Chains A and B, each alone.
Chain A
């Protein structure tokens, strides 16, 4: 089955700097890659996603890039703010029945 790995497990940046979180996946059939943000005591919130027919997608300060050949995708957050501090999960799905396989998450801390 699919295996999704995230690295690093923690990331600390200064407010205003950029943050990049990387994920790798194992199943070449995966074609849908969402990113979720989870704040303490809350459920995961979808922040951006990308499908395998595009290489990059942007939404304001957030972007996701996909490299199908290398089987990795990355979340880019520019001009980070303290409210960006949370746990970020990447996931992958083959589309068939849409089962999502999640990574273990990365804790992002933005220092004021």
Chain B
């Protein structure tokens, strides 16, 4: 069964450092999402791509976060510089299109010290 792949699974970094997360969606899925999930909370959307274009990044802290999906397939989310409050699970999801069910990857657990 096809799955969304994410790496790394765990990342520990010190504040002010740069971190990057990678996501490979299910093959053929045009829509890709990055969510942040704080412990004990539900996921919150950071950015949504349709192919290589950003559809919604209204909740992305653009002073430190950036996301790209250059060829409309895999995607990278970057944080620079990381802050203590960025400690969370970063989840990637994909769907065939914007009105279809979303499938989540296993996430990257980020700890900022």
- The interface of chain A, by Cβ under 8 A from chain B, is 4, 32, 34, 36, 41-46, 49, 89, 91, 95, 97-100, 102-105
Chain A facing B: main interface SS: mixed
**B14 at the binding interface (Cβ < 8 Å):** no
**Cβ B56 vs Cβ A43 within 8 A:** no
Q: Which of A42, A89, A95, A102 is B99 in contact with, Cβ under 8 Å?
A: A95
Q: Which of B40, B56, B99 contacts A32 (CB 8 A)?
A: B99
8 other A-B residue contacts (CB within 8 Å) besides A43-B4, A44-B43 = A32-B99, A42-B107, A45-B104, A46-B102, A97-B98, A102-B42, A102-B44, A105-B41
With A44-B43, A44-B91, A91-B42 given, is the CB distance from A99 to B56 under 8 Å? yes
Alpha-carbon separation in the docked complex, A103 to B93 (Å):
17
Is there an interface contact between B45 and A99, defined as CB atoms closer than 8 Å?
Answer: yes
Count chain B CB atoms within 10 A of each CB in A98, A100, A103 and give the residue with the most. A98
B101 within 8 Å of A (CB atoms): yes
Asked whether B99 lies within 8 Å of A98 as measured between CB atoms, the reply is: yes
B18 within 8 Å of A (CB atoms): no
**Which among A42, A43, A100 is the interface contact of B45 at CB below 8 angstroms?**
A100
B75 at the interface (CB under 8 A from A): no
Q: A34-B101, A98-B99, A99-B48 are in contact. Are A42 and B42 (CB under 8 A)?
A: no
Minimum Cβ distance to chain B for residue A57 (Å)? 13
Residues in B with CB closer than 8 Å to A105 are 40-42
Q: Is the CB of B25 closer than 8 A to any CB of chain A?
A: no
Determine the chain B residues whose CB is within 8 A of the CB of A34 once the complex forms: 101-102
Asked whether, in the complex, the Cβ of B103 is within 8 Å of the Cβ of A104, the reply is: no
**Cβ contacts under 8 Å, B6 to chain A:** 43
Contact B101 A46 (CB under 8 A): yes
B72 interface residue, CB < 8 Å from A? Answer: no
Interface residues of B in 5-44 (CB under 8 A from A): 6, 31, 40-44
